Amino acid sequence: MAKTSMVNRDAKRAKLAKKFAARREALKKTISSTNASYEEKMEAAVKLQKLPRDSSPSRQRNRCELSGRPRGVYRKFGLGRNMLRKATMNGDVPGLRKASW
């Protein structure tokens, strides 16, 4: 089980990323625009840097939905490797079963 504080911190980052998504997108569009002047681009870059650090979506971590484990998480299922194995053994994941040959 992951530390509760780390899971909560990651939830806070997801909330901030969602809150500032539109603002970040607009500033990035201004920065990459070919029509904007150099001054406008620099001003947009400064505004982007002043946004909260945790509002960047790249600071979020994929975590297991059940245990909160940060490593070994399968995106397709949203579960860590060990929880995916347990769920597979219980038959909770449709179309997935343990390999045997």
- What is the count of structural domains for the chain? 2
Which pLDDT does position 34 carry in this prediction?
92
In a domain, 1, yes or no: yes
Which pLDDT does position 100 carry in this prediction?
84
Which pLDDT does position 98 carry in this prediction?
82
Same domain, 45 and 73: no
Same domain, 50 and 81: no
In a domain, 99, yes or no: no
- Cα distances (Å, whole numbers) of residue 67 to 27, 45, 71, 76, 82: 36, 38, 11, 16, 9
In a domain, 101, yes or no: no
CB 66 within 8 A of CB 90: no
> Along the 101 residues of the chain, how does pLDDT read in single tens digits?
778 999 999 999 999 999 999 999 999 999 999 999 999 999 999 999 999 999 999 999 999 999 999 999 999 999 999 999 999 999 999 988 888 88
Which pLDDT does position 97 carry in this prediction?
84
Same domain, 13 and 52: yes
**Domain boundaries, position 74:** 62-93
